[in-house]
Amino acid sequence: MKIAVLGTGGGGRAHAAKLLELGHKVFVGTRDPEATLTRTEPDMMGNPPYGQWLADHPGLTLLSFGEAAAAADELVINGIDGHNAVAALSDIADQLAGKTLVDYAVPFIYNPDVEHPWPTPWGVMPKLDPVDTDSLGEQIQRALPKTRVVKSFVTQEQSTVVDPKAIGGGDHTMFVAGDHADAKQAVTDLLKSYGWSDILDLGPLVCARGMEMYAHMHSAIGFGLGQQSGGHFGIKVVR
C-alpha cells in the first residue's frame, strides 16, 4: 500500500521505518522538506537530525504534509505535534478527503503556568488542552468532515506500537476509537500487521478523550518504573 506518515518526530520515524520493512511505499510529511533535511541539531526529544536518520532508511520519500497525504491510497498516520495538529491538518483537508487518518497525537501544552506544577525529570508535566469535555481526535474529525478519523496508538510509545512483541511477548492491549467502522477495520488490520493480537474497539471517537487523558497515567507509570523501563511497557485489559 501507499501510506503517508505525517510527522518527522520519533513516533513518525518508528511508523515510517516499520511500514517500509513491511513492504509498503511510505511518504513522510513535513512542513518544509528542504528545511527538515538541512537541520543539523537533534530535535527536542533528542532524536538525531532527520536527514541523518533518513540516510539510514533509503526508500522513504520526504514531501510536504499535503503532498504526502495526497500520495497515500487510503491510510494516513498523523504524527504532528498535538498542539499544532488541527491547524496543520486543516490546511491539507482536500488532500485528506476520502482517506482514513489514524491519529496518535497528544494535545500537550508544554511549559504550562500552573499553581501546582507536576515536576518530572524533564521539567513541568505538560497540560492537556483540550481535555475532559473534548479531545484532539474529535477536533480533528470536526475540522476534516470528509476524512475518517480513528484514534489509536496513543497509549504507548510508538516504538512499542510498531513492535508489540518486544514487551511481554505482545500480551498487552491496544485501543481503537472512531465513528467509521471501515476506517477502524483498516487501522485494526494495520495493527495486526505490526503484531498486535489484543485490539479493543472502545466505540465512537468520543472515547479519544479517555485515551488522550491516559497520557498523564502513562507518564506516571514510566516514572514509577524508572530508568529500567526506558518508557517501554504495556497495559493489559484483563477480562
Ligand X SMILES: NC(=O)c1ccc[n+]([C@@H]2O[C@H](COP(=O)([O-])OP(=O)(O)OC[C@H]3O[C@@H](n4cnc5c(N)ncnc54)[C@H](OP(=O)(O)O)[C@@H]3O)[C@@H](O)[C@H]2O)c1
Nearest residue to the partner ligand X, using Cβ: 9
CA 178 to chain centre: 15
Which of positions 102-141 make contact with ligand X (CB under 6 A)?
104-106, 108
Q: By CB under 6 A, is residue 19 in contact with ligand X?
A: no
Q: Using an 8 Å Cβ cutoff, are 2 and 22 in contact?
A: no
Amino acid letter for position 82: G
Considering beta carbons, is residue 74 or 81 the nearer one to ligand X?
A: 81
Q: By CB under 6 A, is residue 143 in contact with ligand X?
A: no
- Give the contact letters, 145-164, x = binds to ligand X (CB under 6 A), - = no: ---------x--xx------
How does strand 119-120 pair with strand 198-203? unpaired
Q: Which of 82, 164, 178, 222 binds ligand X (CB under 6 A)?
A: 82
Q: By CB under 6 A, is residue 8 in contact with ligand X?
A: yes
Considering beta carbons, is residue 115 or 121 the nearer one to ligand X?
A: 121
Q: How far is the CB of 140 from ligand X (least distance, A)?
A: 12
Q: By CB under 6 A, is residue 33 in contact with ligand X?
A: no
Q: How far is the CB of 39 from ligand X (least distance, A)?
A: 8
Contacts by 229-236, CB closer than 8 A, 24 or more apart: 231/157, 232/157, 232/159, 232/160, 232/166, 232/167, 233/160, 233/167, 234/156, 234/160, 234/164, 234/167, 234/168, 234/171, 234/172, 234/173, 235/155, 235/172, 235/173, 236/168, 236/171, 236/172, 236/173, 236/198
CA distances from 50 to 17, 72, 150, 172, 175 (A): 13, 21, 27, 31, 29
Q: By CB under 6 A, is residue 31 in contact with ligand X?
A: yes
Q: Which of 30, 139, 147, 173 binds ligand X (CB under 6 A)?
A: 30
Summarize as ranges the residues that interact with ligand X (CB under 6 A).
7-12, 30-31, 36, 43, 45, 79-82, 84, 88, 104-106, 108, 154, 157-158
